[in-house]
A and B are shown apart, each in its own frame.
Chain A
Amino acid sequence: MKTLIDGIKNLCIGMVTVGKHLFRRNVTVQYPTERWEMPERSRGIVVLLSDQETGELNCTVCMLCMRACPASAITIEYEQGEKGKRTLKDFIVDNTICCFCGLCEETCNFAAIKMATMYEFATEDKESLIWHMDKLQEMGRDVPYEKPVRKKPAAAKPAPKPEVKADGEKPAEPQPAEAASTGNTAADPAIANEPEQKPDNRKPDQPAEDQT
């Protein structure tokens, strides 16, 4: 009998706590009609950023994002022009394997790629998750971003850039590395322009180590 009374008493203590919460403000957000405001740094889908005045992409085809991507989700196709100047042909982001780590955005010295706060990109088929340059540019039109300090994006000029986000990285050294990788990947533009070149991502590193 005593245990019964004790049990009821303790249940009541619990129910008082529950009762208090019953009259508190609702925390539920009714999703399709209401939306949670995403924090500015939230990492959603990858977009390509364009210059706000000219409307052209900020990308300078330095390939750093492609090399930084741990999931090999980025494929860059480019044309090798005269004097080693590269023009972007296509920029493919495979959202099916993107792991939303944000390393591409951190590596970029030109504010060309960003993880926007958008998160609704569900589709019905797998193919429409592979986004090409025009779609990525379209998605990135209204995404606000901080411009890099040097405004005009000069292509592949190995000058150490001032830091964009001031997060203590040292962007000075990737430039010579990029020059080195240019020698490898851009030697044969025909190969570099093939759409499926994911294994090439890690070519500049030691290929033998992949098998170990």
Chain B
Amino acid sequence: MNSFKIFFSLLVILVLQGFVSQVVEAQESSELVQYRNFFGIDARLVVWIVSELHLMFAAFVLGVPMFAVTVEIIGVKSGDIRFDNLAREFTKLLSAAFATTAALGGLLSFCLYGMYPGFMRYMTDVFHPIMFVYALLFFAEAFCLYGYYYSWDILKEKGKWFHIFLGIMLNVFGTTLMFLANSWATFMMSPDGIDLETGAVTSLRAAFDNFLWMPVNLHRLIANVAFGGFVVGAYAAVKFMGSKSDDDKAHYDWMGYIGNFIGLAALIPLPFAGYYLGREIYSSSPVMGNIMMGGAFSWTFIIQAILIGMLFIGGNYYLWNGMDRIEGAERYRKYIPFINIIIFFCFAVWLTPHNLPLSGEERALIGEQYHPFSKFFGVMAAKNAVVNLLILSTFFSFLIYRRANKGEIVKFSQHGNSARIALIITAGLTILYLVWYAMGLRGVELEANIKQYISPLILCIAIQIVAIVVTILMTFANKGKAAQILLLFVTVLIAVVYLAYYGFVVMEKANMVLRFLSVTQVSVVISCLIVNAVIDVFLFKNAKEVGKIRWGKIPLRSQYALLLLCVAIVTLMGLMGFIRSGLRMNWHIYGYMQDTSPGAFTPSISYMGLATALVVVLFLALVSFVFWLAGLGEKKKSSSNA
């Protein structure tokens, strides 16, 4: 059956290639057909669904190997066989999902070439060399994947590092594949390297490395890891709920924990990557930026806020419930209500729209157009602040979870020089980045009366740098815990309290500065996260445990939180796919090729909701089916053993 899978994937690729060349030839003879439909169904809807499905499977196939390899390395380093088994279980899911991804990719290409022949002919004209590379790379990825999976036992003893090398190559090829495909999607949004009147290709390099390419790459890469983590978490949750024996329960509880951990870790930097992408969309086309944040798509961001809020609340909820199975966690329970209140408060602020329509009566009572809630909570300054606070409190939840069963810690000075060096390098790089950004701020060219608003930002960064240095010194002096608290405190003070206030000042006096302010906020928060996380690793290394983690004893409710996380991130991916793609409005290639097909309208949000829900249901059903198939062999094995 497994060799069948390989052949099947290769077959799909070969057929696809043959088809491409055929279509191109066919197009040259008759240029008339521009659009077709799918057995009478609107072409756009079909492409929408198929491409989302393909994308989701691809995200899974890309995200999972990253941590499969990481987990394997941890297993080798720690000598704990559990990690190795976990990595193997992930990979088992992977190879089943890989064939489905390839099949969906084939379907997507057929759909595109079949239903949008005119558009695809042009895309082929521009990108054919990259398409060939793409197809060839697919071989490399397929071989690496199957090599990685099937050589597990053979290379177990002697060639473990070669095995890991295979896994890393699998990731390299997978990521490259995604980058290549991204260039096509971003080319459609911000075309480059072509003449926008004639369509003549002036530079393939520019078309490939177009303006939005890197931002999207970055965003997708991080999102895929989060996606993979949460899907694996949900898989573990379902297995946990169905397992009878304590051993199974313990195993799947642990697997769910790892999945959630990876998902959350990737989720934390995701808003920053998203912010970067949004800003680049603004710079590539202000019109598109306006459509996104101020126009037709602004309401989709309220829905996005709800989904992201669900993710943060679900993630925290799981962590808090998980503390139930850790002996010694009682000591930290007292923080939970405060984090809970902060998180829900942040969520409320984040949700408050600026342009909330009021009824006439309400307006009359208020006496002006904006209610203070939407006036103060609805604007960027407030939203940036609460997002940062949300991230910081989730990070705090995570810190207390980590130390829940840790007692007396080993003095930092006993970890030796390597710990010290690691810490200095981390802090040094972080400070270097902050300094670099502050220097950039100083050099920004603005009019003098606006420029004066920049200097408080530089001061904030300077204070943060001092705080980091003090933190490191305190850690060296064996006061690591206090140091962490100090850094968190300073960060909250700067990034949340002061910069939120200052954001309002700037909004009134010098709007231009707001973008620098957001980046400053992000930089300060990230620097705190990195330094504190690294300190935490060394702080609790070899610490005395006051209690055991009773794997499998987690409340059942928490497993629903894992399910929620999975559904929410899949839906979120569907929604963001809609926004990214929909921003082009009625263009195939923004500014060059118009979509004149009947499906070229911007769907209403309710229509979008239905389509996205359909995509999510299809994806979850397919994934369950594929996982069930992957589990068939295992059942047989266990029954024959018994």
Partners in one complex: no
| Residues of chain A whose beta carbon lies under 8 Å from any beta carbon of chain B | none
| Residues of chain B whose beta carbon lies under 8 Å from any beta carbon of chain A | none
